[in-house]
Amino acid sequence: MELKMPKEKNDFEKAAGKLISAIQKEWGNELGKPNAEFSESAMNAAHNLLQAGTIEKARELLGPMTVRQYLGDVWVQSHPSVKSAISIIEDLLHN
């Protein structure tokens, strides 16, 4: 039986994982409140970014949108704690 080593995550996947963690924290704080569904939508969008797996595929997924637009500008504005995680991904996408 051959054991496979876990795949080493690239910088993009690491950044997307940090974004998901930041969004999950916000979502957890909002559970049971009316706006929790918007945080859940943002978390699902972040999972889609992670599943893209590479910067190139993430660019295809986003098209002309920024990460902030993809997650929802209004949601991001009302959850400033996720902005640094978004900035890291946007920096990777534009380099």
pLDDT per residue as tens digits for the range 52-63: 999 999 999 999
Q: Considering only residues 65 and 34, tell me which one the structure prediction assigns the higher pLDDT.
A: 65
Q: Residue 5: inside a domain, yes or no?
A: no
Q: Residue 28: inside a domain, yes or no?
A: yes
Domain count, the chain: 1
pTM as predicted: 0.88
Q: Residue 80: inside a domain, yes or no?
A: yes
pLDDT at residue 14, as a whole number: 95
Q: What is the CA radius of gyration of the chain?
A: 14
Q: Residue 3: inside a domain, yes or no?
A: no
Q: Residue 69: inside a domain, yes or no?
A: yes
Q: Residue 6: inside a domain, yes or no?
A: no
Contact of 38 with 75, CB cutoff 8 Å: yes
Q: Residue 84: inside a domain, yes or no?
A: yes
Q: Domain limits at 78?
A: 11-93
First to last CA, the chain: 41
